[in-house]
Amino acid sequence: MRRSTARRDRDSSARRRERSDSLLPVSETNDWPDSPAERAREFVEGVLDELDLDGEVEIEEADDRIEVTVVGGDDYGLLIGKRGQTIDALQLLCYQAAFRGMRERKRILVDAAGYRERRRETLEGRADRAAEQALTNNRIVEMDPMSAQERRVVHERLKERAGVETYSEGDEPHRCVVVAPLVAE
């Protein structure tokens, strides 16, 4: 009886390895591209295939970043996830896959169906409203928790705004931006 259990465990381990190898195109094969941009493309295409989503993966490479954009007619809600959590996770995995074994690295931004731009516009609008509230009521306004990337958008939006200052407060994943009116001296 012990042998069959051990064999079954070995078989299920082998099946798990096969499944994980097929899910992650970052296998130890020789056909993995040398270019981080092409690695990012293959990785995102592999994820799209596994999620059974159609779309074209476009790559734009600059000196400081690689932008990976998924375009097509599908609904990419599954790829984006609630409040962008899935696409943020995909972006991190894509970064790790693209620069695996390399010393020189740059930022990778993954977007689908214009989500990042829409989210930036939403965050900027919320930042403006928070600044107005802080100035009108002469009180501190604490915004909802958000990722570091989203907090950066808010800080950038309000850094030139007269009469308010921003700072982050709290611990991840509950870290948020605080918008405070400047005190007249």
Query: Under a CB-based contact definition with an 8 Å cutoff, are residues 60 and 88 in contact?
Result: no
Tell whether 108 and 122 lie within a shared domain: no
Tell whether 21 and 107 lie within a shared domain: yes
Query: Under a CB-based contact definition with an 8 Å cutoff, are residues 41 and 58 in contact?
Result: no
Tell whether 45 and 97 lie within a shared domain: yes
Burial class (CB in 10 A: 0-12, 13-18, 19+), 152: middle
Give the CATH number of the domain where residue 99 resides.
3.30.300.20
Tell whether 163 and 74 lie within a shared domain: no
Tell whether 122 and 70 lie within a shared domain: no
Per the structure block, which two tokens stand in for 147?
């990722």
Tell whether 84 and 43 lie within a shared domain: yes
Per-residue pLDDT at 10: 46
Coil/strand/helix, residue 7:
helix
**Which residues in the chain come in under a pLDDT of 70?**
1-30, 184-185
Task: Give residues with Cβ within 8 angstroms of 130, minimum separation 6.
Answer: 141, 143, 154, 177, 179
- 100 DSSP 8-state letter: T
Per-residue pLDDT at 20: 44
> Which of 54, 85, 113 is the last residue before a domain boundary?
113
Tell whether 95 and 177 lie within a shared domain: no
Tell whether 148 and 171 lie within a shared domain: yes
Tell whether 90 and 23 lie within a shared domain: yes
Tell whether 105 and 171 lie within a shared domain: no
Coil/strand/helix, residue 102:
coil
Per-residue pLDDT at 83: 84
Domain that holds residue 90: 2-113
Tell whether 86 and 71 lie within a shared domain: yes
Cα distance between residue 21 and residue 14, in whole Å: 10
**Tally of domains in the chain:** 2
Dihedral pair phi/psi, residue 162, rounded to 5°: -70, 140
Give the CATH number of the domain where residue 139 resides.
3.30.1370.50
Tell whether 103 and 16 lie within a shared domain: yes
pLDDT digits (tens, 9 = 90+) for 38-77: 999 999 999 999 999 999 999 999 999 999 999 987 788 9
Per-residue pLDDT at 75: 84
Task: Give residues with Cβ within 8 angstroms of 112, minimum separation 6.
Answer: 55, 69, 70, 76, 79, 80, 87
Query: Under a CB-based contact definition with an 8 Å cutoff, are residues 116 and 109 in contact?
Result: yes
pTM to 2 decimals?
Answer: 0.72
